Amino acid sequence: MYCQYCHVYIEFDIVTFVFLTRNMNRKEKSSILFLLGRQIFRLIFKLLYRLHIEGIENIPKSGGAIIAPNHVSFFDPPLTGSAMKRPIYFMTKEELFNIPIFGWIIKKTNAFPIKRNTYDITAMKKTFSLLKNGHLLLIFPEGTRTKNTKIKKAKTGIGMIACNAQVPLIPVKINNTNVMSKFKKITIKYGKPIYPPKKFTKNDYISLSQKILDIITFM
């Protein structure tokens, strides 16, 4: 399991920026680079791609939760994060942190590395710590980006994390980020929270993960 790093008219000015930084929950403070990047991406998606957002009210106003979108483009993480009011953290494949400049940027914008094809204890500790301390975390149920819009089979990772952390999952449906060069209208819809069972076995991991993807499919 691994992930890539990945309302109305937006008018960005210094007053808006200062307001956002001052009114952020202490537990959810983010770097200026993250806040600036979020505003820039939000403006780009609004102006160039007529971004349409639905279900933003389904995101908990506080407490830990997993944001779980389908994954068709490298732009899915910044889209998902820029469409939300609360800051979000990103689980990112380790190799991206080795890219000069880019690696530094994603490190400063709430991303943390995870090693692929192995159980990364350090990344898992970071994951559970973030959720325990009331943060939002983006994880793709499919585990990787798809080459077309067809949703792949679920991985056990997201179900395992949700069950053991006892946090809700928010299914998210993203459309048209895979054809950004055509400047089609981009839509993102946040579904209602899905809560993991309080008593669970390992079999519940994959069933919960698949349930999220099934919901996304019909959103």
- Quote the DSSP letter at residue 5: -
Q: Is the dihedral of CA 20, 21, 26, 30 positive or negative?
A: positive
Establish if 8 belongs to a structural domain.
Answer: no
Q: Mind listing the pLDDT tens digit for each residue in 110-168?
A: 999 999 878 899 999 999 999 999 999 999 999 878 877 788 888 899 999 999 999 99
Establish if 5 belongs to a structural domain.
Answer: no
- Cβ contact 48:76 at 8 Å: no
**Structure tokens that stand for 100 in this block:** 């000069």
Establish if 9 belongs to a structural domain.
Answer: no
Establish if 203 belongs to a structural domain.
Answer: yes
Cα 117 to Cα 83: distance, rounded to the nearest angstrom: 30
Mean pLDDT of all residues in 166-185:
96
CATH number, domain containing residue 184:
3.40.1130.10
Establish if 2 belongs to a structural domain.
Answer: no
The pTM (predicted TM-score) of the whole model is 0.83
Mean pLDDT of all residues in 91-100:
92
Mean pLDDT of all residues in 89-96:
92
Q: Give the range among 26-30, 114-118, 193-197 with minimum mean pLDDT.
A: 26-30
* Number of domains comprising the chain: 1
Angle between helices 121-132 and 157-165 (to 10 degrees): 50
pLDDT-derived band at 28, boundaries 50, 70, 90: low
Establish if 104 belongs to a structural domain.
Answer: yes
- pLDDT at position 31 is 86
Establish if 129 belongs to a structural domain.
Answer: yes
Positions of E strands within 32-168: 52-54, 65-69, 88-93, 111-114, 136-138
Three-class SS of residue 35? Answer: helix
User: Which residue range forms the structural domain that includes residue 170?
Assistant: 14-217
Establish if 84 belongs to a structural domain.
Answer: yes
